[in-house]
Every structure is written in C-alpha cells, then in structure tokens.
Amino acid sequence: MEYEIIMGLEIHAELNTKSKIFCTCTTEFGGEPNTHCCPICTGMPGVLPVLNKCVVEYAVKAGLAMNCTISDFSKQDRKNYFYPDLPKAYQVSQFDLPLCKNGYVPIIVDGVRKNIGITRIHIEEDAGKLIHDQWETGSLVDYNRCGVPLIEIVSEPDMRTPDEARAFVESVKAILEYLDVSDCKMQEGSLRADVNLSVRPVGREKFGTRTEMKNLNSFRSIFRAAENEAKRQIRELESGGTIYQETRRWDDNKGYSYAMRSKEEAHDYRYFPEPDLVPVVVDEEWLGRIRASLPELPEARKCRYISEFGLPEYDAALLTSSKRLADFYEEAAAGSSNAKAVSNWIMGDVMRILKEKGLEAESIPFPGSYLAQLVSLIDKGTISGTIAKKVFDKMFETGREPVSIVKEEGLEVVNDEAALAAAIKKILDSNPQSVSDYRSGKEKAFGFLVGQAMKETRGKANPQLINKMLKEELDK
Amino acid sequence: MELYELSAHELSGLIKNKKLSVVELTDTILKRIENIDSSVGSYVTVSGVEALKKAGQIQEKIDKGANLPALAGIPCAVKDNMCTEGILTTCASKILNNFIPPYNATVIDRLNAEETVLLGKLNMDEFAMGGSTENSWFKQTRNPWNPERVPGGSSGGAAAAVSCGEAVFALGSDTGGSIRQPASFCGVVGMKPTYGAVSRFGLVAFASSLDQIGPLTRDVTDCALVLNAITGHDPKDSTSAAVEYPDYTRALVNDVKGLKIGIPREYMSEGLNPEVGKAVMEAAAVLEKLGAVCEEISLPITEYAIPAYYIISSAEASSNLARYDGIKYGYRAEKFTDLLDLYKQTRSEGFGAEVKRRIMLGTYALSSGYYDAYYKKALQVRTLIRKGFDEAFEKCDMVLGPTAPTTAYKIGEKADDPLAMYLGDIYTVSANIAGLPGLVVPCGFDGSGLPIGMQLIGKPFDESSLLRAGFTFEQNTGYHKLRPGI
Amino acid sequence: MKVTRETIQHVAHLARLNLTETEKERLTSDMEKIISYVDKLNELDTSGILPMEHVIPIRNVLREDKAEKSYDREKILSNAPLSEDGCFKVPKVVE
C-alpha cells in the first residue's frame, strides 16, 4: 500500500524588537535569570499590558512578504492554561482575528517549485524558561524570555515530504532574515517549528489522524523528525495499529520520538477577547507605509541574480537562500570581474566548509572582498588553482586577506624558468624508469612526472610552463 | 464638629490659612483610628509612622510658602486592592496576605502628586467580590451607623472609614456597585467614574472591562476635588481614555434648572424597600422643586443586567485570578505532592468561598462548548444595555434611582444565599456594564436610622452634570452633614 | 441547565481547585441555581447583535519600541515564596 504524507508546520519566530511586547524590558537573549523583568512581564497583581507598535509592524511586514492579506481589524485574546513558565496563567495571543491571513511561501525542492499556503500569521507573547535544577529537587523558573514578542506562522497542510518541510522552514527563515524582523537563531530558540503530520493511503481523500511534534529547533531535527514520524505512522497502520492524536517529543540525539506524558484531556484554553487591550486597526495609509519599507525579498533577489549576474536558477536560489550569503556574494561580485567564478567558489568551497563545520553564512570570518581578491589572484595567474584552495582554507582559519597569506607563505606561482628547469632536472634524474616509460610510448608516465614536478615545487610551479618545459626535455 | 468630621475642602482652608498643621490633623485622625477601629474594622494596614513623616514633609513645604495642590495635607486611605509600593497589599485575601508590591498604582502616584497623606489600606470583600465586606479574610467591617449591620461592599472599609472620621476621603473600586452601594449604606458620597476615566494600572484586577477606581467622600465638593486628582489619561493603561478632563470643581453650581432627569419605572418596582423608594422619590421631588424636570422612563433590559454582569465579571475574574498560584508571590501551600497539587492546594487554601464560587462560574462560562451561550451572549446583552441607556439619554440628561433595594442589612443575614446577595446589585451593575458614571449622594434615613443614598447615572464622561445635581441637592438639604456619632 | 457533580469536578480541575466533599455538594447546588438564573439571558433575542467587548471605542493604543532598565532581580523575587539561584522554584516539572 502506498502512503502519502501530509504535513503542516507552525513556526514561532521571536521578533527582534528592542523591547518586549507589553513592557519596556529588553528582549536581549541570555542574561542572568530574572534580570530582564518587571512587574508586567512577571504577571504581578494590578499590572496592565501596552502593545509595542513595532511588533505590529514587523508582523505586517512578515505577512506582506508571505503574500498574506493584512486584516484591517484584528484583536488579541487570552489563551488560558496553567504552567510555571506562564506567569499570568494566560498567554496573550490572537484567536479568531489574526493580523495576517491567506498567504503563501514558494519553495523549490529538486528543481520543482511549489507554493506552501500560509493560513495565518498572528502575534503573541513568549513564555519564560524552566531550568531543571542539578539535584533534581525541583525546577527553576526564569522569566527573562516572558513577554518577548513572537509571530506564529501557520502553514496549510501542503507539505508532502521531509525535504519540503525543511525547504519551507528555510524559505521562511530567509524571508524573516531579509526583513530583519527576527534574528532566526534556531540554536538560541528564536526560531522554532512544530510539525503536524499524518499519513493516508494514496487516493484516499480523508486525512488521517495527525500527531504534533513541538519545538524542533534545527533543520536537521525537522527533517529527521518528519521522516521518522511518517515511517512510524505507516508502520503502525500497516501492522493494524491506530494513530492517536497526541503530542510527541522528538529526541534528536536518540533519533526517535515518544508520546509526551498524556495531559489528561486536550487543553481547554477558554479563549476570550483580552479586555486589557484594544483592537488594532491597520488602515490603508499605515499599510502603505509598511509596504513601501519592505526590502528586496529572497524571491526578487533571486530573479535579479538571474538577470543581472546571468546565474542559472539553481545557483541564484542557493545564493539567496540566506541573506548573509547573498550579501556576501554581492560584496564579492562587486569587487570582482569574474562573477561566475565568485559564485562557483561560494557554491563549492564556501558551502562545503560551512557544512563541514556546521556553521551558517554569518560565520564566514572574512568579507566578500577577500573572496574577490582570491579569484583575481587566480585569474591573474599569481597563484595556481591548487594553491588557491590552500589559501582559501587559511582564510577561513584566520580571517586574513589572501594577498597577505600568499605573500607571507611565499605561495606565488613560480614562473622562473631557471628554477623550474632545476626542478625538472631533479625529478627526471630521480625517476629514470618513468622517463624511459614515457619515451617508450606510455603517455601516463608524463602525468606522473608532472605531478612529481608540482610536488617538488610544492605546487607553486606554473603548470603550463612545467608541462611545456617537461615535454621539451623529454622529447629531446 | 470634630476635626475628623470635617470635609477635605474645609480642612484644606484651615491648613492653607495656617490654622491647622498637617501633622496635627494626621495625628488626630490616627488617634481616631486607634480609638475606634477595633470596633469598626475599616483598616487592614495602618501606616502611621510613614503618614506622620509625610505630614511633616508637607507641613515644611507649606511653612516655606510653597503653593500646594487643593488636597495637600489631607489624610486619606485606599482600598486594599490598589498597589502601594512597600506597603502590604492584600485584597483582603489569604492568598495575598503577605504581598508587598514593588511599585505604586497610578492613582497612588497621583495622590502623592497632590501631596495627600496616606494613612493606610482599607478592608474589603476578598478580591472585591461581595456586597457586604463579609468576605474579607481578615475581619468584618461594621457599619458605623449600627455595628450589627454591614457597611456594604466590596469597598466597605472605605465607606466606613469616611463615614466615621477614620479618613477624610478614600479611594474605592467599583465593578458592580462596590463604591456606590457601601456609600449608600454608610451615608457618604461615592462615585464610580466613566470607564476609562481613571487609570486601572496597579488596581488588582477583578473584572477588567468593569473595574473603576473612584472616590468616597463626605460631600460632593470633596468628590470633585478627588476626581480632579485621579482622572486623566494614563499611557500605562491601554483602556484609559484620552479625552479632555475638565476641572470638576466648576460643576459645583447650585442650579439644576432645566436639568432633565429620568426615573426608570423598572427601578421603582417590587423588591425595593418602600422606605428606600420613598426617600429616593422625595429626593427627586427636591430636585424638581429646584427646577429639574423629572420624568418616568423605561429601561426594559434592567432585569437582565445582573445575569449579564455575573457572567462577564466572573469570566474575566476567573482568568485574572489564575495568576495566584504560590509560585511568584503570596501564599503557598505547605503540603503538596507535585506541581499540579501545588496549584490546587495553594488556590483552595488561599481563596475564600465566594471567590471560589465566582472562579468556578467564570471558568464554566468560558469553557469549551459554553462560550457562545454564556460569555458571548452576555456581551451581546451588554450592547443592548448600553443601547437602552443611549436611547434614554436622548430624552434626559441623567437617570435617578435607588442605589440598593434595601438599607444596610444585618451581618450574616445573606451569608447563606449567594444568589440573594447578587440580586442586591440590581441598580448598580448596569452602569458598570455600560461604562457610565454613577454618583451616590445621601438622601435620607430609614426608620432605624440607617442611611439611604440616591444614585445618579450619567452620560459617558459627563461626571460634571452628576456633580452639579448632587451639589445642588446637598446645598438644599443637610444629609451630608450628619455623622454616625461613634 | 443541569449542573452535575462531574461538571463541578471538571470545572474545578480547569480552575486548579481542590474541593472537599461538602464544597462539591454546596457548589453543585449553588452553581445550579446561579446557572439557571443566568440562563434567563436566553429570553432576550440577540440575533444580529454584536458582542460589546470594550465599552469605549478605543483603537490602536501602541507604544514606541524603546527598551528601559528592568527591575532589579531582588525586587522581582522579593515576594517569592521559594527561590533559588535567582529563579522561582517549583516542584519538578515532568513533561
């Protein structure tokens, strides 16, 4: 039986406003516990919230960038439940009248483009953090994060594979970064995803029972959790079991998920309109001002790279997938006459090394101009392609300029014919067998001798000269 | 009259003319509290030391010739549900019995700007839920006119204190009548301003869309002075109205000629004690004699105001009181098995019976499947109630009626029947639901010498008309000069 | 509307209240009376009537995005029944 996976995602992104959603405490990450707090964000008796204007604007920006309709009238509601990280015992969120609705985000997986529907985007406040104390006698509560503004982006159940889920989160992350409304640091928790997944036999219309996996905070865990859960559900159904609507915790280290200790019944959040806050009306004028302030978004930037830099779609998509990466590319391309080479270096060596070290583009320790410089050194023939790779690795290690690295380590291409002749003589003398092999018609021996010559000159020999001079010597 | 029986404006005159020192006045009132509060029970906390210190500072400013505000040097007290920095704020509940706020409510800051002297915090029904101050965890406040009787509630301590000279004026809070009804029971002036006129920041929330802070005073002039001090837009309260607030003392004009007063026929119906009805109608007649035009009107939705009120207020309260969990502040149960039990034990031990009842009612009204039938329905009825008043105000400038169906009843009389207690709110809740201002002015006594207050309900932000009518009534009668004689 | 003991039990749990047997009985009867009374609202025809969530038609109360100094931690913890290492302490939270 063939099964189809149906996935919808809810992404929570912390907005990088200066102050919290309802009070003037800082939203800065970290800090000693309970040092970014006041009576309002710790829910003391008698306090009242006042909405941060920037939160509304950032949410509207996100909505516009994701092709949503912006509600001209929206309100906030109380979501009531008891948990120690929620000081008021209710979270101020938006229930039936969210700020943004009915949008979409385009993704490309394996060259195929698809639009993932956005049901809604709404604003809400984040809760505090629970720390489990070392002696396990209790849990400790830190309210620093309480009141940090969040947008919740809810997708339609349009994703069908773990790759699509990952691509969706990547696209949303890129959009939010381009808008500069969130720092999207998944490892710090400022971007987290919940995956809702169900399976159904191909051809059946009715959706299966879905499970929810919460607070996945890396692309890897989103992918693996989705993949694993789909397999689990299929396995369960094939063996005649039942899928229960439940929340599961994904353990990325162990590579499996388990049902969370059953909360006796589904939460009854008893939503009602927040009486301490008034509705938000976004009129045409305000909306126009926000729209005018939108920067170039990933999709538009990608198209520009295709037309302006002549890059193929695949390359353009990769380069614009992260704002920092795109900025880096443009910095480099601006300082170079060889945009294609720059692009190849980024798509090749830069991406490789980031992947190896598990880093994001933000961690590239040198500016784009340095990459332009490296490409220019190669194009001018100052260094060979092989040496260039060494220089690049050194740039990543030290963050220093390629010109300095080449100079200090004497990596320039050797064009001095006398020096090359000496090197060639040396290897010909030390490899008589290969010489006779070549002279007796074995072309392969030539390659070996070239390799030896390059080795002798520690890769710095001008390869064309080596080739020419070696051939001349051997053909004598 | 004793010093502690004078009104704020009278005392202010003496202070400004240097005939009375602020310290002497404060000391007199503190002694008064010392003498009688063990029987009256108005206060939860008396901050005598701080009060005298503040009095000294103010007197110094006066001695230096500083030009001080109208209420400078006047000793006052506030209901114990307004946060006072560094001073115990309990809401008369076990669950907050040890809570010391690290900040002031906005009204406290405003009283401080007026250079008043804060004497302490006043007793109330727990979390403002009740109409008799019988629900206080600490003590029962007794009506200064008759100690067997309730002072009303939930601002019972405030009304009693002003009535018997334990404070020159007080601030109470009114969600369903909690300033006006005790004012009526204790023979003082009480006002619930228009919703949004006084900042709620720092008022421990009971029902967010209904709560308002307001003055309890000896006469209408004092009421206007206190309103001047506490009304005004507050950026810390999103529901605070950014409108023009007048100088309310300009409304203190002895003239009601042409004033159109509507008397709802639904108010003067069965269930209203005949002596109360008589006193209120006589008060209307006084105003008519002075030139007002009194007409019978109809507010047909009146009987639906109580169920709507109880649903809205309990629902909001159930959410506002969810934060009391023993984790961040207040009482925490000593014995519990796990987190869930900590919540349940703390809240069960910390809240009184009436609070629990309202929380249960509110939770029920908001719970899955019931929201539309109860909360949403009540909000729709709210629209109708407001509409009823809007229509009435096309024909009249204000509505006149009784404040409560009876005078102060005996302590314990209604304790077993919560519903009967709720029905006592019939005349007051509509003003909260519709967000309208309401003024209560003493207008007589019943056969046993218990005070009766008449209520005037006005158009939004038209406290001035109410003050004018109340002031005129006062100037032409003498009820506000009578004291309980403790 | 009939209010049963099960309803009371369920609502008490939602509200995080422990009720004694006496309280359960008392509340079941009180709530029944009160709910029957508030059911009176059904006598009113409210079709097409908008629910009034706020009595004053205020919109867009917004504040500028400016961070100010937070409260000192000791003030935040000053009323905490139990605290440790600068945090509020609760019984172990098990997921």
CATH code for the domain of B42: 3.90.1300.10
A89 touches chain B (CB under 8 A): yes
Report the domain count for chain B. 1
Confidence at residue B53, expressed as pLDDT on a 0 to 100 scale: 98
Residue C27 is assigned to a structural domain of this protein = yes
Distance, in Å, from the CA atom of A130 to the CA atom of A122, rounded to the nearest integer, reads 25
Q: DSSP per residue over C10-67, as a string? A: HHHHHTT----HHHHHHHHHHHHHHHHHHGGGGGS--TTPPP-S-SS-----EE----
Task: Summarize pLDDT for A377-422 with one digit per residue, the tens.
Answer: 999 888 888 889 989 999 999 999 999 998 888 888 878 888 888 8
Average pLDDT, chain A: 92
- Please say whether the beta carbons of A92 and A125 come within 8 A: yes
Q: What's the mean pLDDT in C44-63?
A: 95
Higher pLDDT, A308 or A182: A182
Contact B238 A276 (CB under 8 A): yes
* CATH 2.40.50.200, domain A417-474, yes or no: no
What residues of chain C, 16 to 75, have a C-beta less than 8 Å from chain B? Answer: 16-19, 23, 27, 30-31, 33-35, 37-44, 46, 49-56, 58, 61, 63, 71, 75
Confidence at residue B358, expressed as pLDDT on a 0 to 100 scale: 97
Query: Which tokens hold the place of B36?
Result: 């009688």
Question: Which residues have C-beta within 8 Å of that of residue B13, sequence separation ≥ 6?
Answer: none
Residue C29 is assigned to a structural domain of this protein = yes
Q: Which structural domain, as residue segments, surrounds residue C31?
A: 5-43
Does A264 score more than 50 pLDDT? Answer: no
Cα B324 to Cα A275, B85, B271: the distances in Å are 19, 19, 38
Q: What's the mean pLDDT in B265-285?
A: 94
Residue B99 is assigned to a structural domain of this protein = yes
Average pLDDT, chain C: 93
Confidence at residue A262, expressed as pLDDT on a 0 to 100 scale: 56
| Model confidence, pTM | 0.92
Name the residue facing C79 among B330, B338, B345 (closest C-beta): B330
Residue C20 is assigned to a structural domain of this protein = yes
SS3 B117: strand
List the single residue in A with minimal CA-CA distance to C69: A25
Supply the DSSP symbol for A160: -
B345 chain-A contacts, CB cut-off 8 A: none
Quote the percentage of chain A above a pLDDT of 70: 98
Contact A39 B103 (CB under 8 A): yes
- CA-based nearest residue to B311, from B237, B386, B406, B209: B209
The shortest C-alpha distance from C28 to chain A (Å) reads 21
Going B20 to B23 to B27 to B29, the CA torsion angle's sign is: positive
- Please say whether the beta carbons of B216 and B250 come within 8 A: no
C87 touches chain B (CB under 8 A): no
Task: Say what angle helices A463-474 and A417-430 make with each other, to 10 degrees.
Answer: 50
Q: What is the DSSP pairing of strand B117-122 with strand B43-46?
A: antiparallel
Query: Which tokens hold the place of B233?
Result: 């837009």
Does A105 score more than 80 pLDDT? Answer: yes
Query: Which tokens hold the place of B375?
Result: 């909360």
What residues of chain A, 256 to 315, have a C-beta less than 8 Å from chain B? Answer: 268, 270-272, 275-278
- CA-based nearest residue to B87, from B76, B68, B102: B102
Query: Which tokens hold the place of A454?
Result: 């390059």
Q: Which structural domain, as residue segments, surrounds residue B251?
A: 3-262+395-481
The shortest C-alpha distance from B288 to chain A (Å) reads 40
Residue B218 is assigned to a structural domain of this protein = yes
SS3 A224: helix
- Amino acid B224 reads A
Q: Among the options B47, B136, B178, B314, which is catalytic?
A: B178
A96 touches chain B (CB under 8 A): no
Cα A239 to Cα A1, A236, A256, C1, C76: the distances in Å are 12, 5, 19, 46, 55
Task: Summarize pLDDT for A313-350 with one digit per residue, the tens.
Answer: 889 998 998 899 999 999 999 998 888 899 999 999 99
Going A265 to A267 to A270 to A276, the CA torsion angle's sign is: positive
Confidence at residue B421, expressed as pLDDT on a 0 to 100 scale: 84
B99 chain-A contacts, CB cut-off 8 A: 45
Query: Which tokens hold the place of B442?
Result: 């003493």
Distance, in Å, from the CA atom of A462 to the CA atom of A459, rounded to the nearest integer, reads 8
The complex scores an ipTM of 0.96
Confidence at residue A420, expressed as pLDDT on a 0 to 100 scale: 86
Q: How many CB atoms are closer than 10 A to CB A264?
A: 7
Cα A222 to Cα A62, A126, A215, A227: the distances in Å are 22, 21, 9, 8
A84 chain-C contacts, CB cut-off 8 A: 88, 90, 93
Distance, in Å, from the CA atom of A401 to the CA atom of B122, rounded to the nearest integer, reads 73
B419 chain-C contacts, CB cut-off 8 A: 30, 33-34, 37
Residue C25 is assigned to a structural domain of this protein = yes
Average pLDDT, chain B: 97
B90 chain-A contacts, CB cut-off 8 A: none
- CA-based nearest residue to B372, from A125, C47, A406: C47
List the single residue in A with minimal CA-CA distance to B204: A46
B155 tagged catalytic = no
Distance, in Å, from the CA atom of B48 to the CA atom of B25, rounded to the nearest integer, reads 12
Does A265 score more than 60 pLDDT? Answer: no
Burial classification of residue B112, based on how many CB atoms lie within 10 Å of its CB (0-12 exposed, 13-18 middle, 19 or more buried): middle
Least trusted range by pLDDT, from A314-323, B110-119, B362-371: A314-323
Contact C27 B328 (CB under 8 A): no
Residue A310 pLDDT class (50, 70, 90 cuts): confident
Residue A447 pLDDT class (50, 70, 90 cuts): confident
Residue C24 is assigned to a structural domain of this protein = yes
Residue A261 pLDDT class (50, 70, 90 cuts): low
B319 touches chain A (CB under 8 A): yes
Domain borders along chain A are 3-287, 296-408, 417-474
Confidence at residue A475, expressed as pLDDT on a 0 to 100 scale: 81
Cis peptide before B238 (omega within 30 of 0): no
CATH code for the domain of C9: 1.10.20.60
Question: Which residues have C-beta within 8 Å of that of residue C20, sequence separation ≥ 6?
Answer: none
Contact B322 A270 (CB under 8 A): no
Confidence at residue C1, expressed as pLDDT on a 0 to 100 scale: 63
Residue C77 is assigned to a structural domain of this protein = no
- Amino acid C27 reads L
A463 touches chain B (CB under 8 A): no
Report the domain count for chain C. 1
Confidence at residue A266, expressed as pLDDT on a 0 to 100 scale: 66
Does B459 score more than 90 pLDDT? Answer: yes
Q: What's the mean pLDDT in B134-157?
A: 98
SS3 A130: strand
Question: Which residues have C-beta within 8 Å of that of residue A233, sequence separation ≥ 6?
Answer: A197, A198, A199, A208, A211, A243
Residue C23 is assigned to a structural domain of this protein = yes
**What is the Cβ-side half-sphere exposure of residue A127, based on CA atoms within 13 angstroms?**
17
